[in-house]
Structure formats: structure tokens, C-alpha cells
Structure 1
Amino acid sequence: MGLVFRVDGMGDVRAFRVEDPGRLLSAEHREIVGGWTSDVYFAKTRDVLRRLGRLDAEVTAEVFAREGGVFCGLEEVRRLLVSVGADAQVEALWEGEEFEPREVVMRIRGRYGEFGLHETTILGILSSSSGWATAARRCVEAAGGLPVLCFGARHVHPSCAPVMERSALVGGCSDASCILGAKLMGREPRGTIPHAAILIAGDTLRLAEAYGEVLPPGEGLSVLVDTFKDEAEESLRLAEALKERLTAVRLDTPGERGGVTPELVREVRYRLSMAGYGHVTVFVSGGLNPDRIRVLAEAGAGGFGVGSYIAHGTPRDMTMDLKEVDRRPVAKRGRLPGLTPTDRLKRVI
């Protein structure tokens, strides 16, 4: 049996067979919307509540996180609920707002049968998205107003790379390199030419000149300078040849060569400025975190590309509790019955 549109109970789960064993392992849009990424006990719950005549009970669910962070994932949850046809009322924080540990970040009121199957998916969306947005925010705060670009797509599974980079933009990153992630936010993706291009060209200046000729209008010319020569030497060589066309040099020195240090940033910045190229920004990437960003900013870095720190941002452990059934206060042991007092939630659906 192939995939039906939506899981309605355990009969669908038992009957389902994977039709294409060679498919990619990530879930498709219709599989997520259909409930196939849900935990199986929610399919069992549908059968049990249907037997009891309670599948369509009106409930109010609250979502909270065990630690604070930056809220993200609301738009995807909204699209999910619209896609499954849930006639639910939803209140939530705005994306990008900070939240405290155990603070309610979302409240959903509606018939349980219309959204209960998707508890797993809703929590997963909010947990991962908020974790990535929080990591991005900490980098942006450390940069003190300097631009932070997200280069994290290579550090996560491609199925969630666009979600991660969108979350980074919500967290405050100025740009994202993942094409789909940026486009989903109505933005243009940004990023420089990789070392591979320079190695194939055989010379950094030769590559930079060709790069400048094919750049989209309005995009600055930023070039890696750690491929073949000393970074300060290569930076001056490019600046002298390209003049005002060169907008930034990027330092991505590998750990095998000591990485990008404050001393290196300070020297490159000093030599460029002394030679009359103060307009050229020293952009830094490679294993950055908030602590390193602060130090490198003080040394003269003018922008940062962050990958693994954002991509590996710790998910916020989200929990969904039913707090009302048929408008009556309820709660499991250890939790207080009824709606949690808050004045921060806004009606979003």
C-alpha cells in the first residue's frame, strides 16, 4: 500500500509500505502534513478516542520550553495547521522574541482530532528552529552590530538546511548562504567563492578578476586570501590590483595553520589601512563562536561567517500540555490545571 494523505489510525500505519526503497530518507511535505513523521502513539490515540466518542473533544494545549531562548518556528507551525485543515485558535510569541524557561510560547485551542496527531511535528519544528535562532542571536549579540552571515547548511542534513538558515535570519543574521533558506525569507543568498574555485583557477588574483566580472549587480567583491600565500601579503596584492572593486578579504585560515587569530586580523587590518585600503573589510570565518567573535571584532574584523555553531545550536526542549478539556481546567500530576497566566501571547490564527 502506498501513502494515504493522512494517518487516521493504526490501520493506516499497519498497511503502509515504503514503495521506493531507493528514495531519500528525509520526509516530504505531504508526509509531514499527513502525520507520517508523528510518534505512533498519536495514531493509537486516535483509535482509542474515536472508540470513546471523544476524538473531537475541545481542548486547549500549551507549549513551553525547559530553558530560555529565541522563539522561532511559528510560521511553519501555522502553515502546518492550515494545511491539515485545523479550525484552531492559536496564540504565540512573535518569531524572534526571547522567552524564559518554562514560559508558554504557544497556545492552541481546537478539536483534538484536528491537531493532536501533529504534536510531535509541532514540537520538533519549534524545538529545532528555536535552538538555531538562539545560537544565531548569541553570535549577533557578540558581533556588536557587525554583520553575521550563516554558513551552516553543510553542517546539517539537507532536508532541514533551509529551516536552519531561515531560523538564523530570524535570530538576527544579516544573510544566509543556503539558496532555499534565503529565498523562503524573501532574501537573496549571500556567500563568497570557495577555496575549490581558487585551487582550480591556480591563482587568487586571477580568480578574483574573473569573479568580479560575473558578480550580480550590487554584490560586493569578497575574496578568500588564505589559499596560497600569507594572508596579509595576498590581501595587499588583491587590493593593489582591484582598488575600489575589492570590498572585503575573507580569512578562513585552517586549524593546521593556527586558524584565524586576533593577531592575524589585526595585522591584515593594519596593513590594508596603512596602504590606503581602509574601505576593504576583513571578513572572518572558520569555527567561530560568540567568544571568538568578540575577540576578533576587537581586533578589527568587520564581519563574520558562522557555520557549525549555529547549525549545532542546542534544540529547546519543548513540551505540549493539555490545560483545558471541554473548557474545564485539567493537568497531569506535577502541573497546575488551567491556562497559565501570560500577557505576551498574540493571536496568530
Structure 2
Amino acid sequence: MSNPFGTVPPEAILEGDATDAYFERTRATLEHADKSPHVVAEVTADQFPTGEFEVFTGVKDVATLFEGRNVDVDALPDGQLFDGGPVCRIEGPYLEFAELETSLLGFLSQPSGFATAALEARFAAPDSLVLSFGARHVHPSIASTVERASLLAGLDGFSHVAAGEILGRAAGGTMPHALMFCFGEGNQAEAWTAFDEAVGEDVPRIALTDTFWDEKSESLLAAETLGDDLDGVRLDTTGSRRGDFRHIVREVRWELDARGHEDVDIFCSGGLEPASIRNLRDVADGFGVGSHITGADSVDFSLDIVEISEGSSDPSSSRTQSGDDGEPISKRGKLSGVKDVSRTPDGGHHIALADGEEPDEGAALLEPLIRDGDVVREFDLDEATERCLEDAGVVGFGHANDGD
């Protein structure tokens, strides 16, 4: 069976079959009428700046989607923050990309939502170890999308093995409660000792210490069992019995320190979100974040034609190459005309017509992605991460919650 999990195969996406049915009806109608006007279309979430910045990513997949098509595409750089205006612009004969709209928006909307949520977690504890633990909440086929978005937003690592193979990064993680159950209550020391003996030296010795007894008791037992080999303890206490989690963490820290285990780190996980991370960041050393990332709302991108002409389908006649203007057009509630976006020195996001005046000292954000069907941009995850974190600082991302 070639596709046992019923996922849409890559070739269906590339060929435009992974689309909404009405685009197929549109193609049939336009071909019947012998029409394929030259258009400029823009991808936007908000028409005007909102002050609420989100992370733009997924552009590498967009490049793959449009490669070989008779179009020109511009887009924000991977990891750039935005709060309105176009993040992507496509120009060419409409029938060159009509059916690709559904996949295009999917490639951008969900990863951008993941990355924005991960950035919230990153800024909640900027000086702590923060890992992505959310792959179990999504379909396995997109686990690498979650983990890449998390790395792009500056998280320090992730847990999914296959995603690590795709991304060229090693997955992290130590032990689940299931391991502790297999040894049974009263045998926690035996479980931690077996783990220490079994796994490679490069794996941190982080003991899970909230399975059978209270967190303090198990943490002290782990420290006594592994001694100087113990790197840390993980508290994965469920919300149903957590009570004052901050107090629990402080109590564990106190008791470890009182017995000379100051070097043992405390790592927290289990339904954490930015507010709870901020409440713990001065008493815990690291965090595992899952559902806050994977449960994030997708960015509500849409694709709209903003300029149209009956010009030639020859790419040499495109606006980006010839400067010829078409007719501005839009549906109600959207802004007609080709637009540019730029970052101003004060961190603002400036939107204007492409043939209008640039803001003083503004830096244009839309950059070439596809020219005549060729990909003209390279992608580097480390560079995208650096861009994301730097731009987040410029626009003040997360500062409103610093005092929470």
C-alpha cells in the first residue's frame, strides 16, 4: 500500500491537485472562455498594520511549490515579523497558479502560527532552556514543520526523532512515565540506574521525579541514586493536582540545595504556556512546551488579486521586469493596487503603494523568491532564527508581558 496513512502525496501538491474544488471549476471556466489575464496577487493577513506582530515562515515550501512555473514571486524573508500588508506577491498569468492557492496558504498559515507561539514561549524565558515537546499533538507527517518553526523562533531543541533526521538536528529527551511504570513503585532508583547504564554519554541524565511520590521525595532519591552524574530532574506534574507549581519547584530547589545538590537543574513540563513560564523562570532552569505551540491558531492568510491586465503571458512582460502597470482591482474590504512593505527604524511596519514614496530610512521587506520560474533565494535555518530574534527585538515582541 503506497500511502497507508491517507496523507496527500507531494506530487498532488506540486501538480495543483491539493486544492479546493472551486479552483478546478475556475480553470475549466477560464479555459472555456479563452482567458488567463496577467495578474498580481498578494497574500495578506491584515490590510493595515495592527501592532500585533507575527512570525512569517513556510516560504521555503512556497519556493518549491512555484518552482518551474511561469511566474515571479516576492516574499518576506524567512523569520521576518509582520503585522499587516502583503507577505508574499505573485505575478503572472492567472492560470499558471490558480490551483496552487490552497497549498500556498497552508504552507504559510500553520507554520507561521507555530513559529509565533514558539516565539512567545522563547520570550517568556529568554535566558532559560526551552524545548519543543509538541509533536505528539499533530499528525506525524507535519512533525518536522512544528520542530522547524520552533527552532526558527529560537527554541533550543525538540523531541521528535524523524523530524531531527529531516532537519539535520539531533532530537532530545530522556524518559517518560511509562519507563517508571515498567519498573514499578518503590523501584524508581532501579529505573534511573538502568537508564544511566543504558543510554549514551551524550544524553543528559534528567530524572523524571513526579511519578509515584511527591516531587521533593523523588528528586532527592534521584540525587542520592545518581550522585554527581545527575544533571537535572524533570517535574511534569499535571494540572489536576499541581496546586501552586511555583511553590513545588521552589521546595524541590530548596531541598536539593540543602543537601549539596546545587548543580542539579530543575526542568518543568506539562501544559506550560507563556504566563506560567514567566511565573517559573526565576526558579526553574528549563521548560518543555508542547500544546501552546501545536495548538496555536494558524495565521489567517488570504490570497487576493490586486492588479489585472490582459497583457501577454510572456514573463518578460511582467510588472517586475517591464514596469508596466495593470488596472488596480480588489474585492470589498481589501486594498487594490500593488503594495510594498518596509521596516522603519522605530520598528514600524509601513505599507504603501509600490509606486508611492518610500518612508525615510525604511528598509524594504519583500524580496525576490522566484524569477521566471527559478528559485533565486537560498534558505538557512540559523540565519532565519537570527533574523527572527533580531526583528522581534526591533518591534518589541513580547515586551508587553515582561512584567507578568
TM-score range, shorter chain: 0.7 to 0.9
> Could you report, residue by residue, the CA deviation over 1:21-64 in whole angstroms, capped at 9, with x for unpaired residues?
x9433222222223232101111111122223333x43222111
One-letter code aligned to 1:318: F
1:69 is matched with which residue? 54
1:120 is matched with which residue? 102
1:211 is matched with which residue? 195
Does the alignment pair 1:319 with 2:302?
yes
One-letter code aligned to 2:287: F
Matches within 5 A, 1:173-322: 173-202=155-184, 203-258=187-242, 261-298=245-282, 300-322=283-305
- Alignment check: 8 A CA contact 1:239 1:277 kept: yes
How far apart in 2 are the matches of 1:197 and 1:31? 41
Q: Which structure's relative contact order is higher, taking Cα pairs within 8 Å and 6+ residues apart? A: 2
Q: Say how many residue pairs are matched.
A: 325
Gaps of 5+ in 2: 47-51, 310-324, 342-363, 371-404
- Alignment check: 8 A CA contact 1:152 1:307 kept: yes
One-letter code aligned to 1:329: E
CA drift of 1:285 comes to 0.4
236 and 81 in structure 1: CA distance in 2 versus 1, 3 angstrom threshold: same
2:63 is matched with which residue? 78
One-letter code aligned to 1:348: L
Does the alignment pair 1:33 with 2:54?
no
The structure 2 residue matched to 1:144, chosen from 117, 121, 126, is 126
How far apart in 1 are the matches of 2:197 and 2:269? 24
CA drift of 1:266 comes to 0.6
113 and 262 in structure 1: CA distance in 2 versus 1, 3 angstrom threshold: same
2:5 is matched with which residue? 24
How far apart in 2 are the matches of 1:269 and 1:232? 9
How far apart in 1 are the matches of 2:78 and 2:256? 40
Between the two proteins, what is the percent identity of the paired residues?
Answer: 39
112 and 215 in structure 1: CA distance in 2 versus 1, 3 angstrom threshold: farther
- Alignment check: 8 A CA contact 1:329 1:339 kept: no
1:5 is matched with which residue? none
DSSP 3-state at the match of 1:348: strand
- What is the TM-score normalised by the length of structure 2? 0.75
How far apart in 2 are the matches of 1:37 and 1:265? 48
Q: What is the Cα-based RMSD across aligned positions, in Å? A: 2.1
DSSP 3-state at the match of 1:120: helix
- Alignment check: 8 A CA contact 1:60 1:110 kept: yes
How far apart in 1 are the matches of 2:26 and 2:207? 56
One-letter code aligned to 2:225: A
110 and 200 in structure 1: CA distance in 2 versus 1, 3 angstrom threshold: same
One-letter code aligned to 1:212: D
187 and 87 in structure 1: CA distance in 2 versus 1, 3 angstrom threshold: farther
